[in-house]
Amino acid sequence: METPDDSSLAERHRGRMQRKKAVIDARIDAADRDCGLILVATGNGKGKSSSGFGMVARALGHGMKVGIVQFIKGAVPTGEEQFFRRFPDEVRFHVMGEGYTWNTQDRDRDIEKAQAAWAVACQMLRDRSLGLVLLDELNIALKHRYLDVHRVVGDLLARPEMQHVVVTGRAAPPELLAVAHTVTDMGLIKHAFSQGIRAQPGIEL
C-alpha cells in the first residue's frame, strides 16, 4: 500500500517528467534536419578514441561502411584494430604506424608519416560509400603541426554531404572546433593510471 509520502513523491515525479517531456518533445520537433556531421572528442580524460569506436559500432549496426585512420598510434597492436579488422568488407582500417611522437623524436619523419596518413584519410573523405570516417588522434598531428589545419578543414568540408566524420585527440584546434557540429570536452576527473594501474587491455588498448 502507498503511504501519503509515496503518493506525493510519485505525483511530483509525474509532474516533473511531464514538464521534461514537453521540453524535449518541443526540441525534437525543432530538430528536423539531416546532414553529415563533424564530431570532435577532445580534452584530457579517457574516452575520446573509445567514443569514436563506439560510433563505428553503431554505424555498422545501421549497415553503413566505415573508414578508420589512426594517427600517431600504431606501435602496440590494439583491441580495436584486432576487432574491426574482422570485417574487411565493412571497415577500411589504416594505422599510421610507429607509435607516439615522443618515442620517435624525429620531426621530419613524423611529418612524412602524418601526411601519408592524411592522403589515406582524403581517399576516404571522397568515398561516397563510406557513411562514417573516424580520424583517431588526428588532433595530435594538428597540435604538433605535422598537418596544416586549414588544409585539413578544407578536405573535411569537401566530403560527401551525408558522410559523418569523427575526430579525436587532445587539444583540438579552434579552426576545427569552428566547423564541427558536435564537440565534447572529455574532462579528466580521475584516471586509474595515477593510482599505479597500468593500461588494461580492453580498456585503454
Q: Which is nearer to a copy of itself, 97 or 201 (CB)?
A: 201
Q: Phi and psi dihedrals of 67, rounded to 5? A: -115, 140
Question: Which of 48, 37, 65, 53 minimizes the C-alpha distance to 161?
Answer: 37
39-to-108, 141, 165, 176 alpha-carbon distances in Å: 29, 17, 6, 10
At its nearest, how many Å lie between a copy of itself and the CB of residue 134?
10
At its nearest, how many Å lie between a copy of itself and the CB of residue 131?
6
Cell triple for 52? 569514436
Give one DSSP letter per residue of 109-169, joined into a string: HHHHHHHHHHHHHHHHHT-TTEEEEEEETHHHHHHTTSS-HHHHHHHHHTS-TT-EEEEE-
Place of cell 598510434: 73
At its nearest, how many Å lie between a copy of itself and the CB of residue 165?
10
Q: Which of helix, strand or coil describes residue 56?
A: helix
At its nearest, how many Å lie between a copy of itself and the CB of residue 79?
3
Q: Which is nearer to a copy of itself, 88 or 187 (CB)?
A: 187
Q: Which is nearer to a copy of itself, 57 or 157 (CB)?
A: 57
Q: Which is nearer to a copy of itself, 158 or 192 (CB)?
A: 192
Q: Which is nearer to a copy of itself, 37 or 122 (CB)?
A: 37
At its nearest, how many Å lie between a copy of itself and the CB of residue 150?
19
At its nearest, how many Å lie between a copy of itself and the CB of residue 143?
12
Q: What CA–CA distance (Å, rounded) separates 64 from 30?
A: 26
Cell triple for 48? 575520446
Q: Which is nearer to a copy of itself, 8 or 119 (CB)?
A: 8
With a CB cutoff of 8 Å and minimum separation 6, the contacts of 54 are none
